[in-house]
Chains A and B, each alone.
Chain A
């Protein structure tokens, strides 16, 4: 799965730490997601989407191998 967290973060002018703080995870978690090393749970994806006021599909995308 791919995501546009980094882009959304840039749009909202947030650091990884800001975002982590707002949704109650560690900064490492945000970093791992942005590097596509970690696929977040549905709950976490929805939280991120809600924070950026976007539908989940605008931020998270399936890849061919998924």
Chain B
């Protein structure tokens, strides 16, 4: 199956590493809520902490793109269909959720929703795609 926007399979593991690192540190950053002692682990100095949210965003976006848009070991038309279906599913789910939050959530809280919304289309897509892959894998004769 020829596609012109997919990277080679070898980048997938690297993508997962960046993506999970980004997600986990993002969650930790959210929980720590501005208290930086959680990140006092030598590696991160004041300068690093200043840009921590930027770094985490970059990790999630680059990692997520690599996970979602690298070739499978065997890239064929069925995988292509699963990927497309997952993308449509993720976009629809994302906007349904956004629509609900637009109607019911305001001001500061809505801004928080928008921050999460930077990543949710990619995250929903990755979850759905891997779920479908897993399902077709376990769906034995």
B6 to chain A, nearest CB (A): 15
* Alpha-carbon gap, A35 to B4, bound state (A): 30
The answer to whether A29 and B78 have CB atoms under 8 Å apart is: yes
Q: A16-B141, A26-B72, A31-B141 are in contact. Are A40 and B77 (CB under 8 A)?
A: yes
The answer to whether B78 and A25 have CB atoms under 8 Å apart is: yes
Q: How many residues of A contact B (CB 8 A)?
A: 16
Q: A16-B141, A31-B141 are in contact. Are A24 and B76 (CB under 8 A)?
A: yes
The answer to whether B136 and A25 have CB atoms under 8 Å apart is: no
* Alpha-carbon gap, A63 to B37, bound state (A): 65
* Alpha-carbon gap, A24 to B141, bound state (A): 20
- Report which A residues bind B (CB closer than 8 A): 16, 20, 24-26, 28-29, 31-32, 34-35, 37-38, 40-41, 44
A residues in contact with B136, CB < 8 Å: 28, 31-32
Pick from A16, A24, A34, A38: contact of B81, CB under 8 Å: A38
The answer to whether A44 and B77 have CB atoms under 8 Å apart is: yes
A50 to chain B, nearest CB (A): 16
A9 to chain B, nearest CB (A): 11
Q: Is B31 an interface residue (CB 8 A)?
A: no
